[in-house]
Structure formats: C-alpha cells, structure tokens
Amino acid sequence: MSRSLSPDFERRPSLNDIVEKYGSAKEAFERGSYYVSLIKAQTEDNSHIEAASAKMCGSRVTSLGITIEKESIEDFFSKWCSENTEIKTHQISKDPRFAELTNILSKRKINVFYFAGPHTEGAIPQTDLPDISIASKIVDRDEIINSLEDTLPKNWVPDVIIILDIYGHRLPNDLYTLKIPLIFVPYDFDFQLQKQFEDLQRASLIVSNSAYEHLLLEGIYGRPISACPTFVAFTQQFRANEDIPTKDIDFFHSGVSFNPLMREKAQFLFRIATIDNPKLKIVINEEFLPKSEYQLYMQRAKFIPIMSSRNHGGMLSRSMDSLSLCSFPLHGVSDAPIQLFNVLKSFITMSSHSSLEKDVFRSILDFEEKWESYKNSLQDIRSELSSILLNSEDGKIKFLKFCVFEIFHRSAFKSQRNLKSEHLRSSSIVGLSQSLQHARINKNMSHRLYSMSIYNAIEQALRNSQPAATKDSIRSYYKEAKQKFPNSLAINFNFARYAWLINNTDEAVDIFTAIYREKQSLIFEPETDLVWLRLFSALSELMPIQDYSIAVSKELADGRSECAAGKNIIISTCLVYLALNKLRQKEYKEGLKLLDKALHLHSEHFPAARLRIKTLYAIGTDWKKSAKAFKRAIELYPPYLTELLPLGISIKERLGQKEEAVDLVKTWVYFITRYNSRKGNDHAILPDTWKAVKGYHKLLPEDLLNALKDKFPKETQSFSN
C-alpha cells in the first residue's frame, strides 16, 4: 500500500471506552450489559457476577471453568433453558421480580406472541415448548395492522409480545393501550432511529446484541436494555465443516465492501486490499453471494477480514460463519467477545489501525501452525460452536427464553400505557393525505407530521422513477409546510435536495443559502426528522448519511438533544451543494471557500473533501496543499482513488515525487485487481485513469501487471510488457 495512504478505520467509543462507562461489574449487570459485567467481574475477581454474566451472555460457563452458584439467578435461568421443571419450586421464585413468572408457570404455559417481518421470521421457534405457547404474525413491508385483537388467535391472550425489527404502520396502535410487556429487537438502531423512535420509546424492554448498542440505546430511550452477545441475527445456517478444506485464498470478503454507508469498513478493506505483496491472493466481492458459493469461498479462505464500528462486545455473524467453515476471523479492532470463548479465542485475531499490516503478515507467517492447531482441536471447536451459535432451532428457543426471563428479571413493565391523540405515532400514519390532515389539526406534532409528509412525498416520487412528475404537488405541500414552519431544517433541506435533483438549481441554492444563514434558529427534531433520501449514486452523493446517523445517535444517548454535530453535518452538506453550484460556473475560489466552511463544520465530510481536491487542482497554485487534500479525500473514503488517481499522479509529478506517483499507481492496481465490484454499480474506471496508469505500468511488479492485464484485457491491450 502507498506509504502516504493509511485510512484510519477506528471509531470511538471503543470497547474499552464502553467498559469504562460502568463503575462496577454489579452496575453493568444490573443495567443488562452482560458482556461488560463479565469483563469487569474478571477484573474485580468477582466469581459470582462472572458466572451470572457468562450465563446471561449465552456462554456454556462450564467450558470457561466457571461454577454456577446454586439457587442463583443464573442457576434459575440455566435450568429454565434446559427445561428443568425444578424452576417451579426453585428458591428464586421467592424473588418478587419472578413472582408473576413462577405463578404463571405453576398453572399453565406462558403465551408469547411475535410480530416479525419476512427478514426476521426465521428467529421464531417452529413449535410450542413445554412451558411456552407461541403464536405469530408475519407482516409484509407495506401491510397495515389495524388491531391487535384481530391479529391474535381466538381466546388467546399473550403474556409477552416480542417484536422483531418492525415498526410504524406494521404495528397496531392498540398494542400500546394494553398492559402487556413489549420486547423490541431492533436492527440498525442508528440508521433507522427516526423510523424506530416512536415505537422503541414505548418498549418495556429492548434487546440488543452488543455492548455498543446497549450503551447508546439505553441513553436514547431510558428503557431497560439487555444485551445478548451470542444472539447472531438470523443469519444463514451453517453447520461446522465435516471435512477439512483446501486453502487457496489468503483473504476473502463478500457483501457490502466499499460503500459510504459503512465507511470504516471501506477504509479497513482498502488497507487489506492494498497489502504490498503480489503473491497474496485477496478476493473482495461486492455482491452477496448465493449460500453455496459463499460457503465454498469461506472454506477456501485462510482469513476473513471483519470490521464494524457499531458492534463492540457482540458477535458478528460473519465471524461465526468463518469459524464454522474453518477460516480465521481477522477483526480490524478489539471488538469480539472473546471472553465467552475457550478454544475459539486462539483463532480470532483482533488488530488495530496502527498494527494492521504487521498483523496481516504475522497471520500469514503463522498460518500453517495455527491451521494444524485448528485441525487438532476440531472436535472441541465444533462442540463450542454448537453451544453458542443461535441460528439453530435450539438457539431460537434459547433466545426466546432469554427475552421472557429478562422481562421479569429487569422488572421492565409496571404502568399502563395510554395512547392519547397527542401521543400519536407519526410513523403509523399511512398515506400523504392522512399525514397532511393530521399535521393540520395536531398542534403538538404538527412539525413532525409536516416534515414526514414532505419526505414521504419526495420518496414516493423517487420510487416511481419520476421525480419531476409530481413537482407541482410536492411544491404545494412544501409551501404549506414552510408557511407553518419557515425555519424547519428537515423540511427545507429535503425540498432543496429535491429541487436540485429535478434541476431547479436556483430554487435549491436559495433554500440552501437560507438554511446556512438561519442556522442558529432552525427547528430540528433529530429523533423523528427523516433526511435519508437516496437521491444519487454512492460516489456522487453529497450527504454523508452514516456520519449523520452515528452523530445523532451518540448525541441523543449523551443527553445532547439539540444534536449540534448532526445538525452541522446537514448544514455542511448545504454548503457543499452551494460550492458545487459555484464550481459548475468555474468560480473555483468561491467554491473553495464554501468547501472549507463545510469541512470546518464537519471535518470528515468526505464528499466535501472529494470536491475540495478537484477544486484545488483546478486552481493549480499550491501543489503541496493539493497533495494534502488528495491524501485527506482518499483516506476519508478510499474508493475515490479510482476517480482521483490521475489528479494524485499529476500532483506528485509536479512536486517531483515520481517514486510516490509509482506507489500510488501500484496501490490502485492492488485495489482494483483484488476487488470485484457489483455489476451495474457506479465504480466505473474512466479513460483518464487508464491513461494515467499506462504511463507507469512498466514500473509495476511483473505479477501485479499481469494481474491487471488478466482482469482488464481490453483496457490494457495497449500496455507493453
């Protein structure tokens, strides 16, 4: 990889940061962050909380050398999960928190009802259990559920309702008028915060996978949160390998690889893809592969690179897939819950921004020794995997029992929930006319409903692939909303982006300018204001939505309800649009000033950084400054290298840095030969890029040049040997 390019993929808070948020193991346990309580209990030498935490995490504590204390909470939970009837007379039944649970079990089964979508129905056990009766409703994306009573089986009243990642109109309003504990299991709580908020704030209990999710969800909602790190979210079900595969790939990744929605993963995988060794076979596929093909690649690979900044202290399905299929996970950061493992922990590598390349080379050197150890430990590995993987039928049952246990253990529901008109869920309203009608009459939620109406009207136009067809209607809705709320950030921002999309540039510029001018007096409801309109392809999108979503969730969790950082990301995006308008008119210096203002508001606004290097290059007066801007743009979002490579090479040449120019070309060739982009995606290689590479192809290592020619024979046919 180019010595000058080293994207930093680490994010805060780290797992260590999260652990430090809790004063003691007892505090973490009582707050339901069980992996954190396990870590702290080990530090405090508190064997009782260590055992309780390990059990609540879903670990087989005996394999960790931990003894469960009889008549304890974890003993109660363990016996219930193993269907031991002793729970009915267990000492814990005297605990007032479990009085209702043990009372029900002494008379009949517990009735549990599931609401799920097609993407989460796989988590529902297929049959009733000896102590739990199960019913469910699978709700399609556009389906409307009007009444809970009409959804339930006849003469069947639930004791607990579990909601698997569906919200809004897919849940009936009367769900919240009944004294029934509601357990929500959300996905992507930060990206989907605005669509989940009004439901999750009514939850009796929220179940998360990781310590990171737990910390932020608890801060945002103030509800009981329980983190079950061995809950791997309904992935493809892989059995542990029966045979030992042949290894002919060094590193393999598939799925979302280089996408601005997961920028830290793009930065991490870029570092992997550009490791300077042409002998390494590194395969990064942008596509989600069919199960059989995915499984084959995983079996062939020695190492699976894994990176997420939002799952510290929770298991990732890819990591479990890797271990099941005889490959070794390489995590970009120390985030995996390895204290839950016995044999498996020695086969997981956790790296860092500062040590990644060293860890990669060390892993390659040590592979044969580790591979022999893996094969010799295969029986123990399979046994440990079978005890923790939660994507089997037994796992679904175990997770169900965890949820029901926690609703009583955490004393999560006490009071009646009354859904009055002023507490209407805006997300439950379907149809533009309905939302506008409610916006006009509901004073308490008027801004929220107008904001949602404008967003939905634009999104519907985009879905119909005719964004300009309904422009008069959308403009009339906007004028009505603006008359009521002239300083609404979301209403103005969304409409300005829409106006830009349909080439009403002057109108868009006026609104963006007004937003920046009035930035101190803007109305902003970050919990419910939707601003994620997918208007453009990834490389031309000017809104860094992941940065925004993470900023807002962190600020809300910290009690900073004004969400200044999130607001600044929106305002800085307005400045980027204004800058682009200037650049189109070749007013480069004015455009540069606007881009600098945008980056001052949000220093990692990578679309602004991309335009800034192009602007500095067009001005062409300060090549050292241009070199720094080029480096910054690529490090913030590495896939920009394909587009910006000609500029980077030219800048290096103007600075007399030919060796660094060669290094840039080599870095890009590593990247593009090891990355298989999705068909039809926007990672196009422009003629200028090929022209720039051609000028340096003779200086590439022979193996690397051959790899480029093999993958792109047409584009490289003019390259000489």
Question: How many domains, in total, are found in the chain?
Answer: 3
The residue among 680 and 139 whose pLDDT is bigger is 139
The pLDDT value given to residue 68: 66
CA dist., res. 280 & res. 674, Å (int): 10
CA dist., res. 51 & res. 646, Å (int): 58
**Residue 217 sits in the same domain as residue 288:** no
pLDDT digits (tens, 9 = 90+) for 428-450: 888 888 889 999 998 889 999 99
Q: Domain for residue 450, yes or no?
A: no
How large is the average pLDDT for residues 694-707? 94
pLDDT at 281 over 90: yes
The pLDDT value given to residue 585: 97
pLDDT digits (tens, 9 = 90+) for 154-195: 999 999 999 999 999 999 989 998 889 999 999 999 999 999
- Of the CA atoms within 13 Å of residue 643, those in its CB half-sphere come to 18
Residue 320 banded pLDDT, cuts 50, 70, 90: confident
Comparing 75-79, 418-422, 577-581, 712-716, the range with the smallest average pLDDT is: 418-422
**Residue 130 sits in the same domain as residue 157:** yes
The pLDDT value given to residue 419: 42
CA dist., res. 386 & res. 458, Å (int): 48
CA dist., res. 258 & res. 270, Å (int): 8
The pLDDT value given to residue 417: 47
**Residue 268 sits in the same domain as residue 321:** yes
Record the tokens describing residue 435, joined without a space: 């939302």
The pLDDT value given to residue 2: 55
**Residue 146 sits in the same domain as residue 260:** no
The residue among 468 and 496 whose pLDDT is bigger is 496
Q: Domain for residue 57, yes or no?
A: no
CATH number at residue 228: 3.40.50
**Residue 201 sits in the same domain as residue 281:** no
The pLDDT value given to residue 536: 66
Give the distance, in angstroms, between the CA of residue 675 and the centroid of all CA atoms in the same chain.
22
Q: Domain for residue 192, yes or no?
A: yes
The pLDDT value given to residue 136: 96
How large is the average pLDDT for residues 7-26? 95
The pLDDT value given to residue 421: 40
Give helix 211-221 / helix 34-44 axis angle, nearest 10°.
110
Q: Domain for residue 463, yes or no?
A: no
How large is the average pLDDT for residues 575-590? 98
pLDDT at 235 over 50: no
**Residue 380 sits in the same domain as residue 275:** yes
Residue 7 banded pLDDT, cuts 50, 70, 90: very high
pLDDT digits (tens, 9 = 90+) for 547-565: 999 999 999 999 999 999 9
pLDDT at 367 over 50: yes
The pLDDT value given to residue 499: 94
pLDDT at 1 over 60: no
- Of the CA atoms within 13 Å of residue 606, those in its CB half-sphere come to 28
CA dist., res. 567 & res. 523, Å (int): 10
Residue 244 banded pLDDT, cuts 50, 70, 90: confident
- Of the CA atoms within 13 Å of residue 240, those in its CB half-sphere come to 17
Cα dist from 249 to 42, 298, 327, 678, whole Å: 38, 9, 10, 20
Residue 91 banded pLDDT, cuts 50, 70, 90: low
Q: In sequence order, which residues have a C-beta less than 8 Å from that of residue 720 and are 6 or more positions away?
A: 697, 698
Q: Domain for residue 306, yes or no?
A: yes
Q: Domain for residue 385, yes or no?
A: yes
**Residue 304 sits in the same domain as residue 368:** yes
**Residue 155 sits in the same domain as residue 208:** yes
The pLDDT value given to residue 424: 75
Please say whether the beta carbons of 177 and 417 come within 8 A.
yes
The pLDDT value given to residue 65: 59
The pLDDT value given to residue 107: 75
The pLDDT value given to residue 83: 61
CATH number at residue 289: 3.40.50.2000
Give the distance, in angstroms, between the CA of residue 627 and the centroid of all CA atoms in the same chain.
32
Alpha helices per DSSP H over 142-210: 148-151, 193-200
* Closest-CA residue to 662 (of 706, 616, 704, 697): 697
How large is the average pLDDT for residues 3-29? 92
The pLDDT value given to residue 219: 96
Q: What percent of the chain has pLDDT over 70?
A: 90
pLDDT at 522 over 90: yes
The residue among 152 and 89 whose pLDDT is bigger is 152
pLDDT digits (tens, 9 = 90+) for 611-643: 999 999 999 999 999 999 999 999 999 999 999
Residue 64 banded pLDDT, cuts 50, 70, 90: low
How large is the average pLDDT for residues 475-480? 94
Task: Kindly give the pairing relationship between strand 160-164 and strand 328-331.
Answer: unpaired
Among residues 340, 361, 389, which one ends one of the domains?
389
- 596-604, long-range: CB within 8 Å, 24+ apart, which pairs? 597/572, 598/572, 598/573, 599/572, 601/568, 601/569, 601/571, 601/572, 601/575, 602/544, 602/547, 602/565, 602/568, 602/569, 602/572, 604/544, 604/547, 604/636
pLDDT digits (tens, 9 = 90+) for 489-498: 999 999 999 9
Q: Which domain holds residue 675?
A: 638-721
Among residues 389, 413, 437, which one ends one of the domains?
389
Comparing 224-228, 247-251, 462-466, the range with the smallest average pLDDT is: 462-466
The pLDDT value given to residue 217: 97
CA dist., res. 497 & res. 483, Å (int): 19
**Residue 257 sits in the same domain as residue 343:** yes
CA 321, 327, 328, 332 dihedral sign is: negative
CA 82, 86, 92, 96 dihedral sign is: positive
The pLDDT value given to residue 684: 84
Please say whether the beta carbons of 328 and 304 come within 8 A.
yes
Q: What percent of the chain has pLDDT over 90?
A: 64
**Residue 365 sits in the same domain as residue 417:** no
Please say whether the beta carbons of 605 and 568 come within 8 A.
no
pLDDT at 594 over 70: yes
**Residue 143 sits in the same domain as residue 191:** yes
Q: In sequence order, which residues have a C-beta less than 8 Å from that of residue 30 and are 6 or more positions away?
A: none
The pLDDT value given to residue 415: 42
Cα dist from 552 to 190, 400, 531, whole Å: 8, 31, 12
CA dist., res. 235 & res. 122, Å (int): 9
Q: Domain for residue 73, yes or no?
A: no
The residue among 465 and 258 whose pLDDT is bigger is 258
The pLDDT value given to residue 466: 72
How crowded is residue 430: how many other Cβ atoms within 10 Å of its Cβ? 13
**Residue 655 sits in the same domain as residue 712:** yes
CA dist., res. 298 & res. 254, Å (int): 10
CA dist., res. 284 & res. 265, Å (int): 12
Cα dist from 661 to 339, 620, 629, 712, whole Å: 45, 18, 16, 21
Q: Domain for residue 549, yes or no?
A: no
How crowded is residue 444: how many other Cβ atoms within 10 Å of its Cβ? 11
The residue among 533 and 98 whose pLDDT is bigger is 533
How crowded is residue 69: how many other Cβ atoms within 10 Å of its Cβ? 12
Beta strands in 535-614 (DSSP E): none
Counting Cβ atoms within 10 Å, is residue 242 exposed (0-12), middle (13-18) or buried (19+)?
Answer: exposed
Record the tokens describing residue 376, joined without a space: 């010799």
